Chains A and B, each alone.
Chain A
Amino acid sequence: MVLMTPDPFTLAEPSAGNGPVLPAADTVADLQVLRRMVAGLEAATCLDAGMAARFWPVGGGAFSLRCGALHEVAAQEAGDGAAALAFALALGWMASSAAPAGGCAARAAAQARPVLLVLEAQGCREAGEPYGHGLAALGFDPGRLLIVRARRSCEALWAFEEGLRCATLGAVVAVFGRCPRGYDLTASRRLVLAARASGVSGCLAVIGEGGAAGRLAGAAETRWRIAARPSRTGLAGEPAGLALRADLLRRRGGLPSQFDLEWNHDTGQFIPSGAGQAPGREGRPPLSVPLAAASAGRPVEAA
Chain B
Amino acid sequence: MSPLIAAGDDGTLAALLALVRVVGYVGFVTMVGTTFFLTWLWPQGRVRRVFWHLLLAGAILCFIASALLPLLDARAGWSSYGGREGASVLARMGLTCIVFAFGARLPVYAHTLWVPISLWQLALIGTYVLGSDAWEGPWMAVKVVAATAHLGATAVWLGGLLTLAAVLIPGTDLSFLPGVLPRFGVLVRVSVVTLVVSGLLHALAIAGGLRELVDSDYGTVLLMKMVVLGAMLLLGSAGRRYAVRLARRPVTDTRGRTRPSSAQAAAVAVGAEFALAVGVLTATAVLVNLAPAV
Bind each other: no
Contacts from A to B (Cβ < 8 Å): none
Contacts from B to A (Cβ < 8 Å): none
